[in-house]
Structure 1
Amino acid sequence: MMTMKDLLHILLIIGIAAFSAGCTIPSETQIPPTLRPTASSDLPDFDYAGVPIIFSGGDTDWLTTNASYVARIALRDEAARAMYLSGGEVEGVLLSCHPTPSHSSGNGCAPALRIANETAVVDFLVNETAGRVISTVTEIT
């Protein structure tokens, strides 16, 4: 029979585990709580903390949060999620650029989650502040 003390120990362990799992998401000062991915959007067997950064010259000033957060945002996108679940491999997070129309300003670059399968390599560009995929860059292999 479980005592109140046993129940409190179990709740304490669950609380510590839940707190530890949230440590891969940037602090509240960086990302508003309303933009944080929810547990229901996470893929159960995906190691978000293990997503590597694909360096381009070693500079990561383009990344305002972290690779784990970029992966969480990208994998909430229906196309990215479908590509991953159909056997695509997450290669990592990188700074990816897409062509911009001549009348647009800026270079069209953003942090992106790169997913590859046997037919394509797709960079899912992420707006870290808005918490969504804003564009894709596809290379057919």
Structure 2
Amino acid sequence: MKNLSTYIAYPGTTQEAFEHYRDVFGGELSIVKYGDMPPMEGMPFEPDPDAVAHATLTLPGGTISGSDQMPGETYAVKDTIYSLLYGFDDVEEARACLATLVEAGGAVNMSFELAPWGDHYGTVFDKFGVMWAFTVPATEETGN
């Protein structure tokens, strides 16, 4: 079975981010820290035992995976070059998730509104810098 998932390297905030996403969206969370793993010969660095080696949040409709950045990596998480697009069937459910991300320290990037193409659509940066896009397809129930 083929599956496409998102993987993000966070600057030491993976556990906090994934616990936050679980609280917002629900789902099943798995976190493995380097200290939980057997020693790995040939590693180019000595991993912090408290650093997240791999996290996965299984959500209705998909998965998000990630880890803490490797020592010396300083990649920016916040950018508009990507977003995590999460589709909902219900406008109010999407609005509630968007509002929860904003209330927890995020910021609206594009208001969740009826878009010119007929769907409801909006984007928000969460408190970790990840841009989330929310969409609800046009249907009779959504009023489009």
Instruction: Specify which structure has the bigger relative contact order, considering alpha-carbon pairs within 8 angstroms and separated by 6 or more residues.
Output: 2
TM bucket by the smaller chain?
under 0.3
Select the structure that is richer in strand. Answer: 2
Tell me the TM-score normalised to structure 2 length.
Answer: 0.26
Tell me the TM-score normalised to structure 1 length.
Answer: 0.26
Select the structure that is richer in helix. Answer: 1
Rg (Cα) greater in structure: 1
